[in-house]
Structure 1
Amino acid sequence: MMPGDSSMASIVQRIARQALITFRSPPRFGDEPAKSFLENQNKLRSLMTEIRASDLQLVPRRSDDIPSGLPYHDPPVTYMHICETDQFSMGVFLLKNGASIPLHDHPGMHGMLKVMYGKVRISCFDRLEQTDAPPPATPHQVGSLRRSLLRSTAEFTEESGPCVLSPDRDNLHQIDAVDGPTAFMDILAPPYDPDEDRDCHYYKVLAEGEVKTAEKDKEVWLMEISQPPEFWCGGEPYPGPEVCL
């Protein structure tokens, strides 16, 4: 294969190359996306729609592959790193049966998520402008409050298209494994970087009990919290085709 020839490149390689093109100059928060960005984003979305677990050499796991009563040191979520540049990071998250990635944000970042196997429920929120309306009374409040909009709650499988986020749309989300283990491929652009004010923050919904398959476009208050103790992420080796950029 000649350098630059994509005719025989793996779909993982083609996705990485398209992500590099797409996120070279992404729109910032509040900016109107350029036509060229939207065209490239659609190309990336089309490639992400095509990819399957077998392309990453992932073997779907079953609930009975995982013993009950897991020890504390066994993480509920693991991550397979595929590649990272200054423009984007790409990898695979694997969630055990019943595991969740808690409600969190992606400051100033774009993203695309595609389920490889199993099923996830994704609840997406948008941050709203602050208002003069008082937030709910919280006797044990420890973090700042953010007025937000529950934009959508939907279930995704390997047959679904990607879930897409931007700096100002669906930027906060919670991801729950449904009816067994699941895995999804994840692209974030640019990658998290605390030195560039792109750190991950966690939240809880106030006065709602928990995120439900609920009323779309419902206003809620979110309280910033520490990383929940029941959630932590381990690492696994990536078994799929190498990506060269």
Structure 2
Amino acid sequence: MPRVKRLYEVCKASFSNSGPISVEALENVRSCLDDIKPSDVGLEKEAQIARGWKGATNSNGRRGHSGSNQCPPPIKYLHVHECESFSNEIGIFCMPPSSVIPLHNHPGMTVLSKLLYGTMLIKSFDWVGTEEPIDPSEARPAKLVRDNQMTAPCGTTILYPTSGGNIHSFKAITPCALFDILSPPYSSNDGRDCTYFKKSRKSSSGVLPSGIDASEVAWLEECQPPESFVVQRGPYKGQIVKN
């Protein structure tokens, strides 16, 4: 059975409308996603380009050839599976060098991510509780979970609804592609809206719980994504997964 088809079948058996049915089921999905390669999803040519990438990025997040600076092309999203009745969403983000997916969250969702090719920077946070109530419209404290570089080939990562770095951002260093499985998928009717965040410049009077190092905490506030953040549907060249 083709790897993508097998992954779909395992997802179908492992997720319910509320997410993974068990820890073992989630590990089964992780194992299948670990096996996915660029050639399985029609991206071998793009992976070869990434492996031989010798481009340079500027500090302003732009890249150009022969001294010219241009904004990077839009991020492409390739939808591998789409079905309203299905309990998860499967897709691939193809990111050009210097492109950024801003800091955002996946409320109430479990997310499996596999870097298919390339190198990217990842920064992620989890909310922390405070000893005083916090107004949702104000900045909230979040503890840094991860701030490092990841290069393919590497294993699948899992973000849980309240841990593992559910609030995160990605910046492409080279061309890269991220295979994502979300369970359950975004749904505004069920309170699973994507929210974007930025570090707050405002000081907060909130009191952190004991044992939380203030140096590892950032105060985040909701914001609109930057105009430069553009995601376009792209043609998926791999096997189309259908029910």
TM-score by length of 1: 0.77
Q: Does 1:56 align with 2:54?
A: no
Q: Paired residue for 2:25?
A: 40
Q: How does 1:137-216 map to 2 (within 5 A)?
A: 144-169=138-163, 170-178=165-173, 180-206=174-200
Amino acid at match of 2:15: F
**Percentage of pairs with the same residue:** 30
Q: Paired residue for 1:125?
A: 125
Q: Is contact 2:88–2:181 with CA below 8 Å preserved after alignment?
A: yes
Q: Paired residue for 1:12?
A: 4
Distance in 1 separating the partners of 2:98 and 2:151: 16
Would the alpha carbon gap of residues 134 and 237 (structure 1) be closer, same or farther in structure 2, given more than 3 Å must change? Answer: closer
Distance in 2 separating the partners of 1:193 and 1:69: 38
Amino acid at match of 2:130: Q
Distance in 2 separating the partners of 1:49 and 1:121: 20
Would the alpha carbon gap of residues 131 and 89 (structure 1) be closer, same or farther in structure 2, given more than 3 Å must change? Answer: same
Q: Paired residue for 2:80?
A: 82
Q: Paired residue for 1:23?
A: 15
Distance in 2 separating the partners of 1:205 and 1:194: 25
Deviation at 1:133, TM superposition (A): 9.6
1:145-171, Cα deviation, whole Å (9 max, x unpaired): 111111122322222111211111121
Amino acid at match of 2:223: I
Q: Paired residue for 1:3?
A: none
- Equivalent pairs, count: 214
* The 10-residue stretch of structure 1 (234-243 or 124-133) with the greater mean CA deviation from structure 2: 124-133
Distance in 1 separating the partners of 2:132 and 2:148: 31
1:54-89, Cα deviation, whole Å (9 max, x unpaired): 11110224566x8765479x42x1100110243100
Deviation at 1:177, TM superposition (A): 0.7
Deviation at 1:104, TM superposition (A): 0.1
Would the alpha carbon gap of residues 221 and 133 (structure 1) be closer, same or farther in structure 2, given more than 3 Å must change? Answer: farther
CA RMSD of aligned residues (A): 2.9
